[in-house]
Amino acid sequence: EAPGGADMHMQEDAEGPAEPPEPIDAMPAEKGEPAENAGPAEPPDEPAPTPDEPVTDVIDALETGAGEEEDGGEGHAEPVAAAESSFESTEKLVKTHQATGVRTAVLVNGKVWTGLKNSISVRSTRSNELHVIQTGGDYVWCMAVVGRQVWVGTGSGQILRYGHNNRRPRAPIKRHTGGVYTIYSHRPASGTHTAFSGSADFLIFEWSLAGTFLRQFLGHTNGVRAILPAGVNLWSCADDCTIKVWDIDTSKCIDTLDAAASCETD
């Protein structure tokens, strides 16, 4: 007989049957089945924590005064959650400007707000202080100071709003269905302070300072590029090559000028 533990694959001419191999503790289990005689399974490793989702609105928290209100007029707009601070070097910002171009700018309390492709930079005119607000990938087309806020027209049709001192984001305005090309803050000598917006959806909207829709001006057949209140009238320019004059009180168009013909005459 072959000694115990001999190889199972013995030659056919070996004398006598071979001793069976010594038992092993556990045979490999089929996929999805526990192994017999196997000890308690080791607990699986804890999954690695996933990083936080990227923030879409970056503001400086140092100047965010608790309880400070910057709605600047009628009603109250609830602020959305503030995000963490973010600083970028001047050199990096200059490179960003060169890569994307500056689309619009406003001056607010000694700070210049400049709109880029998908962000806003806020630079102090008195120091090297610099802050960057991310717009979540939304194109910045225009900006205007409305009351105590900065309103930002974007390519998605949203109007983003920020406190002009603490840059705290407020609930955005969502009504336009095309990019917002122009925003104008209208403060008449007598009457209510409101704001106008013109869009690629051919429409002009009027808003309260709290962001409430008031009415629309309908008549352009292409995107509205510029708005200018003049006395009791509102002038607008659009990609339909016309300049329209509106009665602000009635929102009716009272005159339409052919911009191309005017240029040829001049």
What pLDDT digit, counting tens, does each position of 227-251 carry? 999 989 999 999 999 999 999 999 9
CA distance 113 to 57: 15
Instruction: Give yes or no for a contact between 130 and 120, defined as CB atoms under 8 angstroms apart.
Output: no
Per-residue pLDDT at 3 exceeds 70: no
One-letter amino acid for residue 181 of the chain: Y
Q: What is the pTM of this model?
A: 0.63
- Higher local confidence (pLDDT), 77 or 169: 169
Per-residue pLDDT at 152 exceeds 90: yes
Own/partner long-range contacts of 256-264 (Cβ < 8 Å, ≥24 apart): 256/219
Percent of the chain at pLDDT above 70?
60
- Report CA-CA distances (Å) from 240 to 199, 206, 220, 222, 263: 13, 21, 7, 5, 14
**Shortest CA distance to 15 belongs to which of 31, 29, 3?**
3
Instruction: Give yes or no for a contact between 179 and 198, defined as CB atoms under 8 angstroms apart.
Output: no
Order of all β-strands in the sheet with 213-217: 180-186, 194-199, 204-207, 213-217
Per-residue pLDDT at 2 exceeds 90: no
Residue 34's CB: how many other CB atoms inside 10 A? 10
pLDDT band at 191 (very low <50, low <70, confident <90, very high): confident
Which range among 42-56, 77-91, 94-108, 225-239 has the greatest average pLDDT?
Answer: 225-239
pLDDT band at 92 (very low <50, low <70, confident <90, very high): low
Q: What is the dihedral of CA 121, 124, 130, 135, to 10 degrees?
A: -20
Q: Which tokens is 50 given?
A: 């996933």
Pairing of strands 119-124, 149-154: unpaired
Mean per-residue pLDDT of the chain: 73
For residue 98, the model assigns a pLDDT of 52
Which range among 27-31, 92-96, 225-229 has the greatest average pLDDT?
Answer: 225-229
User: SS3 for the chain, per residue?
Assistant: CCCCCCCCCCCCCCCCCCCCCCCCCCCCCCCCCCCCCCCCCCCCCCCCCCCCCCCCCCCCCCCCCCCCCCCCCCCCCCECCCCCCCCCCHHHHHHHHHHHCCCEEEEECCEEEEECCCEEEEEECCCCCEEEEECCCCCEEEEEEECCEEEEEECCCEEEEEECCCCCEEEEEECCCCCEEEEEEECCCCCCCEEEEEECCCCEEEECCCCCEEEEECCCCCCEEEEEEECCEEEEEECCCEEEEEECCCCEEEEEEEHHHHHHHC
CA distance 174 to 160: 9
Per-residue pLDDT at 39 exceeds 60: no
Mean pLDDT throughout 134-144? 92
pLDDT band at 118 (very low <50, low <70, confident <90, very high): confident
For residue 224, the model assigns a pLDDT of 98
